[in-house]
Amino acid sequence: MDPQDHQQPELRQVLVLQPPFVFNIHEHLFADRFHVLKAYDSPLPTRDFLQANAQSVKVVLCSGIRDLPALKLVVTDATGVNHIDMAECVRRGIKVTNVGDVYSDDVADAAVGLLIDVMRRITSGERFVRDGCWTTSREYPLGAKLGGKRVGIVGLGNIGSRVATRLEAMGCIVSYTSRRKKQSTPFTFYPNILQLAFDSDALVLCCALTNNTRHMIDNKVMKALGKKGIIVNVARGALVDEVELVKCLLEGELGGVGLDVFENEPNAPRELFELDNVVFLPHAAAFTNESFYDVAQVMIANLEVFFGNKPLLTLVNNKF
């Protein structure tokens, strides 16, 4: 064997501590191109495995930067990076890539789907039929029309703008709040979440989780939205004060919710399980066959350019 061939896999090592869904499905795409080090498959304890490879590993998939002094790149399969210690990455000069806007259309579709589901009582209607209630009662609670509703988008980025476009096409009156006013959009801007809630029938959460946005949907915002108001969250669970959310729903102070994300995943509030005005997804708004394949391609492309000493394609701004 040519000595250079023997060295090539080592030069293109990629460490995986715990495999994400994308990797599980498309592992062969990575294995065909890189020498994948599977810490989760090793008989060694994780710390021993890392110590054995610490001096050579320059890339890790998704997360995990401790005990890797040679690390230069974290390639995540997500859009958000709140699961990565970005401050430590900045300190050590470690670059981070995400998947850009690959998930945006799928998440926007799911957000609109959750809103329609809650308003038109689709899931509760399905349960009504499946549980045999229709055979004993023809009375089923009326839902609400989507067209004409005032919908506030919290975070008008890649996902939020797609949600807004979809809802406008369905006859909704769309407004938004964001870190700054968007000059290129026709939608009405609100500088604060509370005023947006007062003037909305529903809020769709699409913003990033930061220290400033944690629990931004608090009791005041829920009360401002009102007893018929609906919250859809396809962003991060901790944007919502979940304790207050449960309280408002149980006391009838909020009209309903569609939740793809939760504050303490995978645990959803059990108090809400029997409520017909609550619709859950298991943090799967982005999960489609098409998106997973596209995400794998983005991750592989970033790995290829990294090992080829070329600019990264979806570099995350490390200003944290």
**Catalytic residue of the set 121, 162, 166, 236:** 236
What span, in angstroms and rounded, lies between the C-alpha atoms of 96 and 115?
Answer: 33
Residue 47 catalytic? no
Residue of 97, 102, 122 whose CA lies nearest to 112: 122
| Cα–Cα distance, 73 to 37 (Å, whole number) | 15
Strands (E), 26-138: 35-38, 59-61, 73-75, 95-97
Q: Which of 10, 88, 126, 265 is catalytic?
A: 265
Q: Is residue 265 annotated as part of the catalytic site, yes or no?
A: yes
Dihedral of alpha carbons 276, 281, 285, 289, sign:
negative
> What strand order describes the sheet that includes 230-233?
188-189, 173-177, 150-154, 202-205, 230-233, 256-259, 278-280
- In the numeric block, the tokens 């102070």 are attached to 253
**Residue from 26, 214, 215, 283 carrying the catalytic annotation:** 283
Beta strands in the chain (DSSP E): 13-16, 35-38, 59-61, 73-75, 95-97, 150-154, 173-177, 188-189, 202-205, 230-233, 256-259, 278-280
Q: From CA 221, how far away is CA 58, in angstroms rounded?
A: 45
Q: Which of 241, 282, 238 is nearest to 258 (CA)?
A: 282
Closest to 208 in 3D by CA, of 64, 94, 83: 83
Phi-psi region of 19 (alpha: psi -120 to 50; beta: other; left: phi over 0): beta
Angle at 154 between CA 61 and CA 288, to 5 degrees: 45
User: Tokens 């946005």 sit at which residue?
Assistant: 213
Active site residue 236: yes
| Residues annotated catalytic, as ranges | 236, 265, 283
